[in-house]
Structure formats: structure tokens, C-alpha cells
Structure 1
């Protein structure tokens, strides 16, 4: 086929697209006004992916689903959470045909029905499972259930490697993820969980970066994740090097996946490590527990330039410079760490990283330890995006929930709403003002007459950008179990350009 024929085909296709989907409004030749700004409308469909929760036979896992009430959302819709290998490519139920996908495990416990099915926006719904064979889950929501749909997976493990409280917000599929804070140390068992929600296989690369740069790992290349399946990859099988601090880079060659790192320690508990926000010159890591006994910063710059960062703690009284850690030099392509110790010293805090001079994109996370000796437990705080329009946190209880709000650059007013309880209770709302440069653990609103768990929505009302995280804490056999989830925008709204049908473009 010659180049002229290809051009004609391309032109015909473009014209067909214009005819089918209409033309975006633009300034006319006569000098007409520019089009209005894009409208923000509720999303109509959402998909979320939950990794397989545990390798422990004594694990108890709860799932909580919540969709906030959103003005302008559809009046009808559906949502459900099912095993990743229950649906085959042609839509048949693998649990009925016995054709479970390779790479997933243990669909039996959820084969006959969804793990949970939400009933209405504004009220959480819960489900649970136990043991080591609970599979990864794929959730879908459309219509009234889609805007801001949030799924929380929380697991309690009473003993053994990674014992404690592990939590993760189920994530949307994407094509690239950064995980500073992973490890192949002898005391750690870290898995990268890859979940494919689509009808075709995904091909994924996993790159590892240590203190001296990239680590050769041919076994991390061209990994295939089958359709509607999940694959856990043990990091220590990808390299013989044992390094306490790694940055993991997940890239998708074809398709898309959800990705999370499960970091389990032999003695210091463990948790899920969510992906860092996209590389940026300035980063915020919100909500370090006030009783943290050890805080470790892990940072990485993927570009060709080194990064020099100012390190500040946004405390309740304003910015503080950690003694001995005023700045951090991050060499290009090398994972860099800084031990901050008990940096919060009994007060709420968020770490703020800004360039000292030239802005160089960086990813970062904090490894946070509470307790001492054999009573230690670990969680992670990745750098996160600001709350934006609204953030949502599911699976909160009357006790053990801490909400941290940070306003690093300007004072902000924030509205926080506690939903109805999963088994009863009435929603309530409180408003807080967070001063510039500070972090506050705000008094969390609790639904009146609460029964079960409830959700929190965080909505900035005015002022500067707000960053947030939620900590869940529970003590089991004297061990202070806890888990932290950051709260970026819940993606409930989408910008829709103003468009009208204009077939006259075919005559120009």
C-alpha cells in the first residue's frame, strides 16, 4: 500500500470521526468568543483493583465499599466486587466452568457471589474473608455508584512475618508506578502484586534501583499477567542482591494493571506500600503518627540530574527543620535514604520536600515505625497528590481513626463529613481551618448512633492546597498495629469539554 493511499484512508477516518462525535467548539474566523471552560461532571464508570491480601493462614480481611453522594450523578447504577479469576475473556463465570486464570489463586471462597454489593451511595457496605487463599478482586461501578467510589482492604495478622494491621486503598489500573521503600533485605519479604482487569494479557517490566543505581534483573522483564488475573512477584526472586532500601519501577508494555507492594518484616510487622505520586520537584508526605519511634525517608530521582531538597516538617505550630537533616542530596538513578528518627516528637507532622535551587522530579516515601523492641509495627506514607475536589476514606471506626490534614503553602478551610454507618447511624459534618505551613490531627467526626464502620469525605472549601492521610490503629496482643492511607482526589468528577455538532467542517 503506497503513502498516497494511506493518506486518503487517514483523511477519510478523520472525517468519519468528526461526523460521528461532533466538533469541539473553537474561536470562529469572525472573532467569536472562545468556548466556555470545560464542565466538571460526575464520572459514569469506575474500576478498582484489590490485591490478594495475605500469605498467612491466620489472616482476617475486611473489605469496605463506599460511594459518596454526588450532585448530578445518575439515578441508577450497579457496583460489585468479585474474584479476579471469576470472569473469563468471553464473560463466562470461571467459577462455574472451572477455568480459573493462571496467576490467581483461591477463587473458591468468592465463587458463588460477589464479595460485596453496594446498596446505595452514602452508606458503606462491608464484606470479609480469611486465610491465605483469598484472591485478588476486581471491582466495577457505573452510574450513581461510580463518582468517588472507594474500596478499602484491611487485614489483621496476629503472628508471623508481617504481623499487625495491613491496609490498602484498592487502586485504578494504570501503566506506570514508582515504589520507593521496597526491600530485598534478609528480614523482609516484599511482593509486587500485579492485577489485570482487562480481556487481554498485560506485559509488564519491573526495574529495581538500589543505593548504587540500577540493579540488573532480566527476570523482571516481559512478565505476562493473564486477563482478569493477578500475579504476585517476590522481589528477592528478581535479584541476588540484598538491599534494605529499593525503588521499584513498574512499567506496562501492553495493557494496564493495578500495582501495589506488600512489604512484610520478620520482626517489625508490615503493611502495603502504595505507589508514590508522579515524579515532581516538590512533594508532600502527610500524616506521620505523633508517637512514631522511627521515620525513614526513601527518595529517588529518575531523570538525568541530581536533586537537592530542603526537608521540612509541617507541625501543628508551623514548619520545622529536622536537626541534622536540613537537606537531602538525591543522586540521579540511585535510591537515597535519610533516618529522621522520632522526628514528630509527640506532635502531628507531615514531611514537605522542596528544591533548594533547580527543580528536579523526585519520588519518595516514608517508612514509619511505632513501638519498640518486639512490639514494633511498620507502615508507609508515599508522597501524594493534594485532596483536590474531594477525597474519600472508607473503613473508619469510632475509635482508632486519625485524620491528618496539612496545608503546606497557604491556610485552608476544609469540610469533613462522616457518612452513615454500615449498620446504622446518621451522617455529620465538621469544618476545620488549617493554618499555612501546619499539620493537624483533627477531631474526627463520628456519625450519631453509629453502628458498624463509616466513611470520611474531605472537601477543601477555600484557601491553599490540602494534603491528607488516614491512620487506622488497633492493638493486638500488646502490639500497636496500624496502617496509613493517603487521601488524594477520589476522581469523582471529570472535565468534559463544551462540544456541539458542527458538520460544516466537512465543507471547509
Structure 2
């Protein structure tokens, strides 16, 4: 896609919760209060921003919105997406997109417009906890043919994107979307295998209120590299950020941010027929990181031959070509320190290729956080969706819930055991009766932490077009400490 001003994904989810302070009543010097665990309560408001889809004349984009059933922050509520403003500060006048009316049943909207804008939306009340929107674009012809999928994401002040590129075959845009009423100011930094890359015009990028700003990474530097790490930091305000990566020879996809820097990284759900897998790692701290690589397959952990470890220098990006890593069997890549006492934080992502020659297609899988309380993937098709689950620390059981479809039916629940160090791959059970898109929700039932992703395969013209979305916790619940009145504070 040739995008002169590509509006893109900013996604934001604001969690409304007020924390109180637990104290002790009584005159004089208060006794120490017993520790009180924080209650986990549903959020009252969520905000999401979706990128402007492809400007190709051959593109069709589907938005699927969903809120899982469960505890809510009240009754009623609204959830809908509205057009974001472009760089000129003007928002297109369009009706709300994919307005949701009830929890537990997804809704869809489709556009084939080449000038469809980025979207910013808000959910409140009973529709806020776990509200998720999937944006899936199919470009079925032309040099940009691909499936581009992304879960509309949460706003923040900092993002890390390993696996971006300024190479000749790549066209990578970072899309910055501001969901708030005040301008945000954003700095961009690129890091290669020798440290920070010399760039121009990367400081103080202003993103107007309610607007989206695309930045083509290759315009920031003269250095051509196919293995860089992008750091996005907001010095004021917050933005939703994601990268659209297009490859002239191998399709492309959205590249979401890696999870927060940590000594370990998990990338769940590498398809078994991956023809090429490339790992990109960046050490964010002051110390080098020495990591061991493990592939969690269906039968247990495997150490990739010839790629047992990787050394990542502080402030530098390392890339490792793993080839056809999975050898026909789906798996998950787990990075951990070779020395357990080593706590050097890293961020990581995989570039995954399926197919060969002119029939190649690419997707990205960044390191993700565990499912936590619950995670959902909104856009699923009966014949195209595959769920991957891995439990790197201990045996676990998860509850997989298939929602009603956009055209009716009833939810279906299935308990899935996952043994330590393995990856379980399954097709989500379709809703009973009903047709159309459906959502899949994963909820831990017992055992250790579980990491999840969903692959959506939509082959076209002999090309194995696909996209993968990691499924971290949906942030539908927030910890709120218990509190009580303490009038003795007036005597202090």
C-alpha cells in the first residue's frame, strides 16, 4: 500500500477505578493495620482506537466488536467507534461503527472504502469490562495482497516494537493515535545491532486531540536495516501505537507492541507450516542479556538445534534466523535467562512467514503477557481460526468459551488441559446453531500461567494469507484496595 498519510491504529482502554487507603480507627497513635487484599472489580470505562485500514482499491475491512458476559460495572452501557481526525485535525462525518448493544454477542461492520479513517471508541457500564474490537483487512490483489489483522489496542505512554525495518523491501509506518482532549507529544527512537540509529525529526511529534498521525520509518534515517527496534515514548499525554509492516515480496501485517520489558519472553502459537521464523530481541536495560531458547511443542520442550542461546548487548538489537523452526508441528517460543539470577530485561517479537516464492505471506507475533483473568479474540471464522495455548511454568487447565455468533446460536464451553512446557493447538468449537463471526474467550481454571494466541487463516489465490493476534489479559478487572474512614487523621 502506498500511504502518503496513513491514519492508523491507536488503541486505548481507560480503566476507571478509585483506590482508597486502609487505615485504623482510634485515638492517639494508631496500631498497625492488618494487610487487606485488594478487591478485583470490573472497569467502568474502556477506550479503543483502531487504525485506518488499507487504502487499496482491493481491500475489504471487517470490524468485529465484543464484550464477554460476566461481572460488570453496572447495567446498561454503550460501546461504539467513531472516526478519528486526520493530520489536518478534521474528522470524517460517519455514523458510529459496530455499536454494541449487549454482552456475549459480537457485532460486525464492513467497509471497502479506500479512505476509511482510523477509529476511536469508548465503552461504559456493562459493556466496558473486556470490550475488544478486531480489525481484519483482506487485500486480495495487487502488490500489497495480504491479510492484516489487529486487536484495537490500549493507549499508553511507552511502546517497544522489535522487528521493524527500514529495508528496501519493507514499508513500515508507525501509527500514533491520540484518544484524549489534549495534544500528545511523542518521541521516536530506533535501535540496531550497534545501538541507537542516527535519526532526524524524531523528537516532539505532536499528535492533535482525537487525531492520528502516521510516520514512515524509512524517512527517519538513511540507514537501511531489516532488524530494528522502535521505541515510542510520550513525553506528554498518551497514544495508541502500532506498526503497519508491508513487504514487497511477502505480504505484511500489523506489528503490535511487545509486552513490557522482562527477563523472560513468551511468543505463543507459531504455526506448524511456518516456512521461516525470525526472532528479533532488544535489551532495554543497562546489562547484556544471555538467553536460552526453548520451543514448547505438543510433546514438550525442544531446544532448537544450533540456536540454543542468544546474546543481546545492552541497548542493541539482535536478530536470529530460525528457519522452519516448527518442522510441521505448531509450537511456542520461550526465552529465559541462561543464568536464573540474571534479570536483564528484554523485548522480543517474531516475524513468521508461510508459503514460498511468490506465494509467501508474513505475520508478526510479539512477546505477550499471560491470559491473567480472561482474554478474548473477537473475529473468528468456523474454518479459519486456530487457538494456541502454552503453559511454560506448570500444568494448567483453561476454559475456552465460544460466544454466540453475529447471526444467533448459543455459547459453547470446553475445558482444555495444557501440560507444562507444551503447546496445545485447537480449532475453537463453533457456536451451537447460528452462523457468522464469533468470539473466543480464554479463562484460566487451574494451574500455572497460560499464554494464548489466535491465528486467522484466509487463503486466497494459492497464497496462505494469515494473521496472528496474541491474547493477553483483557484488563476487564482492576484491583481496588478496601478502605474505611479514619477520622484520626484530623489529629495528625
Q: Judge same fold: TM > 0.5, yes or no.
A: yes
Q: What is the rounded CA distance, in whole Å, between the counterparts of 1:278 and 1:452 in structure 2?
A: 35
Post-superposition CA distance 1:104-157 (Å, at most 9, x none):
68x54xx24111210100000111212331111001000001000001000001
Is 1:316 the counterpart of 2:298? The answer is yes
In structure 1, what is the equivalent of residue 224 of structure 2?
A: 242
Structure 2 residues without counterparts, runs of 5 or longer: 1-17
**Higher mean C-alpha deviation, range 172-181 or range 498-507:** 498-507
In structure 1, what is the equivalent of residue 416 of structure 2?
A: 432
1:150–1:22 CA distance, 2 compared to 1 (3 A): closer
In structure 1, what is the equivalent of residue 188 of structure 2?
A: 206
Check whether the contact 1:104–1:135 (CA below 8 A) recurs between aligned residues: no
Post-superposition CA distance 1:340-362 (Å, at most 9, x none):
11111111200000001122100
Q: Aligned with 2:488: secondary structure?
A: helix
1:10-89 residue pairs with structure 2 within 5 A? 24-27=21-24, 29=29, 31=31, 34-85=34-85
1:88-103 residue pairs with structure 2 within 5 A? 102-103=87-88
Q: What is the rounded CA distance, in whole Å, between the counterparts of 1:161 and 1:215 in structure 2?
A: 29
Question: Which residue of 271, 274, 295 corresponds with 2:256?
Answer: 274
Q: What is the rounded CA distance, in whole Å, between the counterparts of 2:155 and 2:485 in structure 1?
A: 32
1:502–1:31 CA distance, 2 compared to 1 (3 A): closer
In structure 1, what is the equivalent of residue 9 of structure 2?
A: none
Greater helix percent: which structure?
A: 1
Is 1:169 the counterpart of 2:166? The answer is no
1:226–1:484 CA distance, 2 compared to 1 (3 A): same
Post-superposition CA distance 1:147-173 (Å, at most 9, x none):
000010000011234321110000111
Shift in Å, 1:444: 1.4
In structure 2, what is the equivalent of residue 196 of structure 1?
A: 178
Question: Which residue of 469, 475, 478 corresponds with 1:485?
Answer: 469
1:182–1:26 CA distance, 2 compared to 1 (3 A): same
1:116-127 residue pairs with structure 2 within 5 A? 116-127=98-109
Q: Following superposition, which runs of at least 4 residues in structure 1 exceed 6 angstroms of deviation?
A: none
Post-superposition CA distance 1:317-358 (Å, at most 9, x none):
100000100000011111101111111111120000000112
Check whether the contact 1:390–1:489 (CA below 8 A) recurs between aligned residues: yes
1:202-351 residue pairs with structure 2 within 5 A? 202-351=184-333
Check whether the contact 2:455–2:466 (CA below 8 A) recurs between aligned residues: yes
Q: What is the rounded CA distance, in whole Å, between the counterparts of 1:259 and 1:332 in structure 2?
A: 24
1:398–1:22 CA distance, 2 compared to 1 (3 A): closer
Is 1:137 the counterpart of 2:134? The answer is no
How many pairs does the alignment contain? 470
Q: What is the rounded CA distance, in whole Å, between the counterparts of 2:441 and 2:288 in structure 1?
A: 38
1:211–1:487 CA distance, 2 compared to 1 (3 A): same
Structural RMSD (CA): 1.5
In structure 1, what is the equivalent of residue 6 of structure 2?
A: none
Check whether the contact 2:178–2:211 (CA below 8 A) recurs between aligned residues: yes
Structure 1 residues without counterparts, runs of 5 or longer: 1-20, 86-100
1:94-113 residue pairs with structure 2 within 5 A? 102-103=87-88, 108=92, 111-113=93-95
TM-score using structure 2 length? 0.93
Check whether the contact 1:83–1:138 (CA below 8 A) recurs between aligned residues: yes
Q: Aligned with 1:480: secondary structure?
A: coil
